[in-house]
Structure 1
Amino acid sequence: MQVALIGAGEFAKTHLEAYRRNPNVTVSWICDPNLEAARNYADRYGIANVTANYEHALLDPAVSFVDITAPNYLHKPMAVRAMEAGKDVLCEKPMALNVQECLDMKLASERTGRKLFVKYHQRFDPVHRRVKAMIESGQFPDPVMAMFTLFGNHIPSMSDPNHWRGNPALCGGGCLFSSGSHVLDLIHSFFGKLKAVTAVARQLVVNNPDKGDDNATVTMEFESGVVVNFIGCWTTDRWTWSKEIHNRHGSLRVEQDENKSNLLLLTKSSATELLMEQPDWFNQSNYAAIDHFVDCMNDAAEPLYSLDECIESMRLLELAYMSSEQGRRIIRNEINEAEGKAV
């Protein structure tokens, strides 16, 4: 199959490395208004066609699908246009800027009969998949509380008025939207149906009115009874993160070591056991996700998760921002009632 990659930013490299490893697909176009960036990738990866206008790639009958790594605000219009042009679509996370845009994309897929997939790569990490399997199988039964944290330094880009990061019009929001979208999706995949959300998303450090939140905390209650806390901070001096899940017997913890391996640790009675280690987890999970969706394009696999799950992850983000803005706990069912049970 031939793919047209739309977007020649930093993350395009990860996608191109994945395609270079996959014998079933060839990148035949790279599209970006920044032609210099696009040409640099084309030279490096042997891509035949470069254009500033992605519409040119959509006219190529040899292109089977497009892969969108453009900024978030372009996801919906580009995906819809590509499907209308007869192309299947793989879209980077987050799916779009809000739930309504996600619903529009799903309707376009149904209307055109084209496939649409959203790449939440953390779901493909073997350590994360092991955690999900342990919860679902009862190997780690009845989780009651979890804590997911992400700390890092985006102060320079958040302070820069010309940088896209944290600009709600381009990205959908700040720390919670950009970093939280991955983590909240993973939480949603682990724990299922959401009951309620309480959140605070604030700009505490950067003092830039054109940007969104630089710190956020979200408490999520699930129908199963488990309570999960997410803390995101873009204003510390180093990058660290962790995922902890607790039940009355012990704790599961996912952390990254100094070699960028994902580690899965089980603690019981003060004894800690290393259950699993995944080297180079970030790149490998991206490659696995893209390989999976190439197989789905070829009808050689069924999607690991549905568009409805992606939309529900976006809804969780929206509810968190709503909670922060309104200063209250938001019940998931009241949103269904407000929408006339449209979803």
Structure 2
Amino acid sequence: MSKAKTGLGLIGTGNIGRMHLVAITALRDAGLVDVEIQALCDIDEEALKTTAELFEAAQTYEDYNDLINDEKVDIVYVCTPTSKHTDIVKTAAKAKKDVFCEKPLAHSCPQAREMFAVTKDAGVRAGVGLVLRYDPFLLYSKQLIETRDFGTPVLAHIRVDQHFPIEHGYYTQWRGNHSIAGGGTLIEHSIHDIDILQWFFGDIVSVYAKVGFFSEREVEDHASLILTHRDGAVSTLDSIWHSLDRPNERRIEFFFEKGYIGVTLEAGERWIEYQTIDEAPVRIHAEQANNALLDALGVRAKNIAPEAYDALATVGTERFSALSYAFIKAIQAGRDPSPSFQDAIAVQHA
């Protein structure tokens, strides 16, 4: 991609679409990426108008085909309900547009594989919204494993709870509709957690799962998994959507032959605690963890300006900002982005 500024078109101006727009405009305004929000698309005319005014989009469309065919759009962000992903991604790829798609890619692995095949055949690059890979605390945990002798991975556990995302801050009616979402807390939310377990402990070779339907909605609101990794380590996952008035929380624990890493990701409170056989417990907070994020993006050594640091490290948007920074930079450099469609397929296949 040779031109200085990359034209970005985003389809789906709901909660997740706006989150990406907040992150991308912060990156642009801080001078971290050369990108323009060229076009937005949504079938909800009022939501489209409001979002376009807020983010100063040059053009709006109600038909995604029109956005994809806009000659000024180089990259297409797909932030629609899951049931729409397959057709939009395939259309964008055939139009030779690089594409970013929110997770999960599709309702099923065969659909996701078809999406990847179309992007590959078209010669376009494709990234996916597995945003926890850019969480500062998980990146710091990765650095710990690479720089200290924790020994062989033994056991991991993730417990994650979230208010049912058709209410409150995550208001989206379609997530309670199986024909649109394809599933509930497991595929729609804890696809992130399975990705992290596989990212840290390697390929998953066997799965035992139990899901529950305790509400009157069409999708599972509870899931418990036991996962066996290729090297013999075991991971467990407990994921629940609920209606309780409590902060969302994700608690992650990694046990190794010679050490332990615990990560707490709660609204307003985030930290790491780790120890090895030779070290007392150590607690890590945001400032140190953010350095791991900057290292992963290759910008720490550049002594970036305060506004650039804020764009990348502000709590609440840092994962999205880092993900889009890495994605856009990869596309502009002609590299395959990470995480990729292959990564997303590996998670759904597990």
User: Normalising by the residue count of structure 2, what TM-score does the alignment of the two structures yield?
Assistant: 0.82
Cα pair 1:31 1:54 within 8 Å, conserved: yes
Aligned length: 309
Q: Which residue among 255, 264, 284 is the counterpart of 1:275?
A: 284
After the TM superposition, which residues 252-271 of structure 1 pair with which residues of structure 2 at under 5 Å, given as runs? Answer: 252-256=261-265, 259-260=268-269, 262-268=270-276, 271=280
Aligned pair in 2 of structure 1 residues 183, 212: CA closer, same or farther (>3 Å)?
same
Cα pair 1:266 1:274 within 8 Å, conserved: yes
Q: Does 1:2 align with 2:7?
A: yes
For the residues of structure 2 that align with 1:311 and 1:155, how far apart are their CA atoms? 24
| Larger deviation, residues 228-237 vs 217-226 | 228-237
For the residues of structure 2 that align with 1:199 and 1:257, how far apart are their CA atoms? 25
Q: Does 1:294 align with 2:328?
A: yes
Q: Which residue among 190, 202, 205 is the counterpart of 1:192?
A: 202
For the residues of structure 2 that align with 1:304 and 1:79, how far apart are their CA atoms? 17
For residue 74 of structure 2, give the secondary structure of its aligned residue in structure 1. strand
Aligned pair in 2 of structure 1 residues 147, 257: CA closer, same or farther (>3 Å)?
same
Aligned pair in 2 of structure 1 residues 114, 213: CA closer, same or farther (>3 Å)?
same
Q: Does 1:240 align with 2:249?
A: yes
Cα pair 2:126 2:337 within 8 Å, conserved: no
For the residues of structure 2 that align with 1:126 and 1:156, how far apart are their CA atoms? 28
Query: Relative contact order, CA 8 A, sep 6+: which one is greater?
Result: 2
User: What are the ranges of 5 or more consecutive residues in structure 2 without an aligned counterpart?
Assistant: 1-5, 290-312
| Larger deviation, residues 20-29 vs 301-310 | 301-310
CA RMSD of aligned residues (A): 2.2
- Per-residue deviation, 1:157: 5.0
Q: Which residue among 205, 213, 219 is the counterpart of 2:220?
A: 213
Following TM superposition, where does structure 1 have runs of at least 4 consecutive aligned residues deviating by more than 3 angstroms? Answer: 133-139, 155-158, 267-271, 278-282
Task: Report % sequence identity.
Answer: 24
Q: Does 1:12 align with 2:22?
A: no
Q: Which residue among 215, 223, 231 is the counterpart of 1:224?
A: 231
For the residues of structure 2 that align with 1:7 and 1:16, how far apart are their CA atoms? 11
Instruction: Supply the AA of the counterpart residue of 2:330.
Output: C
For residue 80 of structure 1, give the secondary structure of its aligned residue in structure 2. helix
- Per-residue deviation, 1:15: 0.9
User: Normalising by the residue count of structure 1, what TM-score does the alignment of the two structures yield?
Assistant: 0.84
2:309 maps to which residue?
A: none
- Per-residue deviation, 1:186: 1.3
1:84 maps to which residue?
A: 94
Instruction: Supply the AA of the counterpart residue of 1:227.
Output: V
For the residues of structure 2 that align with 1:289 and 1:252, how far apart are their CA atoms? 24
1:69 maps to which residue?
A: 79
Deviation per residue, 1:23-72 (Å, 9 max, x gap): 41111111000011111111111112111111111221111010011011
2:296 maps to which residue?
A: none
Q: Does 1:48 align with 2:54?
A: no
For the residues of structure 2 that align with 1:99 and 1:138, how far apart are their CA atoms? 36
- Per-residue deviation, 1:136: 4.8
User: What are the ranges of 5 or more consecutive residues in structure 1 without an aligned counterpart?
Assistant: 317-343
Deviation per residue, 1:218-254 (Å, 9 max, x gap): 1100011111110011126222220011124332111
For the residues of structure 2 that align with 1:155 and 1:292, how far apart are their CA atoms? 27
